[in-house]
Amino acid sequence: MDLIKKYFSDLSRIQYNKINNMNQLYKYWNVFVNLISRKTFINNSFYQNHVLLCLSIAKVLKFFHGSTIMDLGTGGGFPGIPLSIIFPNSKFLLVDSIMKKIKIVEKIVTHLNLNNVYPICIRAEKLNMKFDFVVNRGITNINMINNWIKNKFRIKSNHKIQNGSLYLKGGDVTHEIKNFPNAIIYNLHQYFDEPFFKEKKIIWIPNIL
């Protein structure tokens, strides 16, 4: 929790309390459904490896009031849940095709009283909605995801960067983004001191009309 205060010192007491409560909630529900690695609670890395990593998106982009974001392949609710706490005026649709995970995410959302979060069990390509941004923290290839989210972006953008997708990735992504000449990489070591972030990055791919 100290890491969150170190890099996000301007959050409200309510926001800090919600983030603080996340650890025990995930520790409890992870026993029933494997939402995140069980080693997380052994090596005390929950806030670094999951919460702060997801909040790194906020270092690149501040979601405007009224914006709508899809967390594609949300799994245990990352990055959508941490982002929804610091952007309470944005709407987050947490999408996953595995019902048992969505059911647990619904319980976590209720416990945290997140009124701007909507978990749903559906395949992304079947959604009939438009979004400002799609966020993803996962191992699925970007090329594959891009096929799922075509034509799902709002045309008008009020943000400092063009509407599009934001991917949390690690390691070498050269091959993965070779088909996206407009992609921009944000290396997270420029925002965070911890060695964990040395090879972590955010890839922004704008929605090119």
Q: What integer is the mean pLDDT of 68-92?
A: 97
pLDDT of amino acid 101? 96
pLDDT digits (tens, 9 = 90+) for 19-66: 999 999 999 999 999 999 989 988 999 999 999 999 999 999 999 999
For residue 157, pLDDT over 80 is answered with: no
Q: What integer is the mean pLDDT of 185-200?
A: 97
Determine the residue type at 13. R
Angle at the Cα of 105 (from 102 to 106), degrees rounded to 5?
A: 85
Q: How confident is the model at residue 147 (pLDDT cuts 50, 70, 90)?
A: confident
pLDDT of amino acid 209? 52
Enumerate domains of the chain plus CATH numbers: 2-206 (3.40.50.150)
Q: Would you state the structure tokens that stand for residue 1, as one six-digit string?
A: 């929790």
Q: Would you state the structure tokens that stand for residue 44, as one six-digit string?
A: 């005390």
Q: What integer is the mean pLDDT of 136-145?
A: 85
Kindly report whether the global pTM for this prediction surpasses the value 0.85.
yes
For residue 158, pLDDT over 90 is answered with: no
Per the listing, tokens 């090879």 go with: 199
pLDDT digits (tens, 9 = 90+) for 85-132: 999 999 999 999 999 999 999 999 999 999 999 999 999 888 989 999
Q: What is the Cα Rg of the chain in Å?
A: 16
Q: How confident is the model at residue 151 (pLDDT cuts 50, 70, 90)?
A: confident
**Mean pLDDT, the chain, whole residue set:** 93
What is the distance between the alpha carbons of residues 1 and 152, in angstroms, rounded to a whole number?
35
Q: How confident is the model at residue 69 (pLDDT cuts 50, 70, 90)?
A: very high
* Secondary structure (DSSP) of the chain: -HHHHHH-TT--HHHHHHHHHHHHHHHHHTTTS--S-THHHHTT-HIIIIIIHHHTHHHH--PPTT-EEEEET-TTTTTHHHHHHH-TTSEEEEEES-HHHHHHHHHHHHHTT-TTEEEEES-GGG----BSEEEEESSS-HHHHHHHSTT-B-S---SSS-SEEEEEEES--TTTTTT-TT-EEEEGGGT--SGGGTTEEEEEEE---
Taking alpha carbons only, the member of 173, 171, 174, 169 closest to residue 199 is 171
- Count how many Cα atoms sit within 13 Å of the Cα of residue 202 in the half-sphere of its side chain: 25
